[in-house]
Structure 1
Amino acid sequence: MATATTVVDRAAGCLLGGALGDALGAPVEFHQLAEIRRRHGQDGVTEPPKPALISDDTQLTLFTAEGYLSAWVRGKHLQIWDPAREVWSGYRRWLRTQQRKRPERDAVGLLADPRLYARRAPGLACLRALSSAEPPTQGEQYQRANGCSGVVRAAPAGFAPTGELAYEMGCEFAALTHGHPAAWAPAGALALLVHLVAVRRRSLPDAVDQVTGRVLRDHPDTAESLASAVRLAERDLGAARASLEARAFGRAPTEGGPGAESVMGLGPGWVGSQALAIAVYSALTHRRAAQFPDALRLAVNHSGDSDSTASLTGNILGALHGTAVLPRPWLARLELADVIERVGHDLGATCAGDTFEEQRYLVA
């Protein structure tokens, strides 16, 4: 088990890392790789813009966290435990920020922050699902919604008390708006992966192996996508090592190594399983702390859902390493960095047994 300080720091790193990836990729989300390189140079996007604006992915991640923290506080003090209901209420609060220009006078929690009242092209599946006053029942979920919006907001579920609960809550939170297994199973997989590296201190390869085995029971396509990411990462890391050895001995370097071709071989990332596979590949090939910026760059510069894939990569590596790996110049320009860090710390505190301002989350 990680120490209390490490869990709290890794929770903040998870949310901040995801937000940095989101902001890095948002300006090129719908661009083809050739267009990205034409506009930004052969290396593509290399750093977030100034200011580094988040998308609806990070907005919804914050409201996921607020909903879970509300459930945690109510469970502790009122013996009422219904995290899916509280997260649904959180998503409905987020919807209000997309419909209004500013907070109401009596707004509390995240709703009181005027910076969240920014419409960042939210997905239609979320908007349609959240137009209902009540969450869907298991038989009424939006079965055809299989996009990656469910997985990109699931990281806070990783700070549940146990790995199985993290997986279950990740699935449940995603299924509130995206009822297809290709959407909710990757969300459970991400939550379990975050839990294993941030709370249980598993190595990243071991955690990915465990997650792949767990999600296989619910959605074999997601398990196969993760297995493909692992195979590509091992192949490309082997090629990179061979090239370094060749240079060291004065031979011509071999071709290969981590790159956009492998990323695009996993799909564009619009579906949840593809987005998670791209993030896992990017994290596995750049798992050292100093490689965090390059991991996000790899996850961004492809023809697909650049902000989602980079956001997931940031979640994973932030959970693995904590806040020390986050580039300070990038954080200085990140929108809502103070709120994201505080919410992350509070998530970690629930695992670590640390105190935090619990009344902040009695928002309903």
Structure 2
Amino acid sequence: MDAAAVDRVADRAHGCLLGVALGDALGMPTEGMAPGDLERRLGWVDDLLPGPGRALPAGQVTDDTEQTVMLAEAILAADGAVRAEGVTRHLLAWVDRAGPRADAVIGPSTARAFAQLRSGADPRTTGRSGTTNGAAMRITPVGLIHRPDDLLALVGAVEESCVMSHHTGVAISGASLVAGAVSAAVDLDVPGGGPAPDAVLDTLLDTAAHAARLGATRGIPVPAPDLAARADHARRIAERTDDDRTFLRRLHEEIGSSVATEESVPAAIGCLVRGGGMPFRVAVLAANLGADTDTVGAMAGGIAGALHGASGVPADLIARVLAVSSLDVQRLAVPLARLRLR
């Protein structure tokens, strides 16, 4: 295996995981706020803040990052295989470690699945009603280990990661969109490390849309809009709006940013495009959007980090996040890179 290739992909994997953590931590204090209330109380959020009412220190990540790390560890423990039973074991172990804090942050689909799993239910039956964004928020490791020229394999792995909590077409489609975007981002180059040019975004989003439409055919069918079409609408809002506050208002009104997969995943794409794929700018936009800000930020930040690598994530901010959260994601980068390249 070529050492230079491993180093390059490992840097992108490291950047992706750092981007998840940065977007999560910046969005943590604004999660659940309505956009108008957010602006009145906090103004424009572009730094790490403590979580109001949740006693979380500035820079603390939430379950978005922790479950992303959990999924990466489950994949590595299985030598690259993504199987529902293995992911379930790691997910339940994470809940045990997190204790009461997990109960306070996990989403409704995952909470329902946990209750059934604790009662001894088969993990292949517990995700049949899960439609929210818990699967998409943790999915970036699947995108890191799969190349964009084999989206059937990527979507198959996405589905296995979703089975125990989010085995519906809309949830798998949203997670596939995010994983497809990450997979494409790893292979793309941004000249000069600046904002991504249209050609780069076209390739990334075309791959993401193809993955989303493949994912929509998996799992339990549920009434839901076409996520690829909604992501394309979010892109148009990002490209055709003059200022950031108007962009965020339109994104909130026309797409939404709740825990619903069909809102938060396209919203993440809107923030990605508006921010030119730059990890910090993308994360700041997500933090000021309102509603499920930490998850939108984690998804958008992960894609942007995969596009730019570790050096694209602001060193001072991410150092604070890693220290406060006692987080080490660099240890995962090389093993994930080796799985992608083998």
Give yes or no for TM over 0.5: yes
1:11-56 CA distances to partner (integer Å, 9 max, x unpaired)?
A: 0111111111111111111111122112212x2x111135411111
Aligned to 1:339, the other structure's residue is in SS state coil
| Structure 2 partner of 1:212 | 209
Q: Tell me the distance in 2 between the aligned counterparts of 1:277 and 1:207.
A: 14
CA contact (8 A) 1:282 1:299 kept: yes
2:7 partner amino acid: T
CA contact (8 A) 2:108 2:132 kept: no
Q: Percent identity?
A: 25
Structure 2 residue 114 is matched with structure 1 residue 130: yes
Aligned to 1:203, the other structure's residue is in SS state helix
| Structure 1 partner of 2:69 | 62
**Please, which runs of 5 or more residues in structure 2 have no aligned partner?**
50-56, 190-198, 217-224
| Structure 1 partner of 2:295 | 308
Q: Tell me the distance in 1 between the aligned counterparts of 2:33 and 2:161.
A: 29
User: What is the CA RMSD across the aligned residues, in angstroms?
Assistant: 2.6
Cα distance change, pair 134–10 in 1 and its aligned pair in 2 (3 A): farther
Cα distance change, pair 28–223 in 1 and its aligned pair in 2 (3 A): same
CA contact (8 A) 2:74 2:90 kept: yes
| Structure 2 partner of 1:47 | 47
Q: Pick one of 227, 247, 269 that aligns with 1:222.
A: 227
Q: Tell me the distance in 1 between the aligned counterparts of 2:333 and 2:8.
A: 12
TM-score (ref. length: structure 1): 0.76
Cα distance change, pair 349–337 in 1 and its aligned pair in 2 (3 A): farther
1:94, distance to aligned residue in structure 2 (A): 0.8
Q: Tell me the distance in 2 between the aligned counterparts of 1:331 and 1:175.
A: 32
| Structure 2 partner of 1:262 | 250
1:269, distance to aligned residue in structure 2 (A): 3.1
CA contact (8 A) 2:139 2:178 kept: yes
Q: Tell me the distance in 1 between the aligned counterparts of 2:297 and 2:105.
A: 17
1:332 partner amino acid: A
Q: Mean alpha-carbon deviation: is it higher for 215-224 or for 176-185?
A: 215-224
1:172-215 CA distances to partner (integer Å, 9 max, x unpaired)?
A: 21232012322221111211111111146692321212221332
1:318 partner amino acid: G
Greater gyration radius = 1
TM-score (ref. length: structure 2): 0.81
Q: Tell me the distance in 2 between the aligned counterparts of 1:143 and 1:278.
A: 24
CA contact (8 A) 1:141 1:177 kept: yes
1:138-169 CA distances to partner (integer Å, 9 max, x unpaired)?
A: xx343332111110011110122433222221
CA contact (8 A) 1:233 1:258 kept: no
Q: Tell me the distance in 2 between the aligned counterparts of 1:315 and 1:161.
A: 15
Structure 2 residue 261 is matched with structure 1 residue 276: no
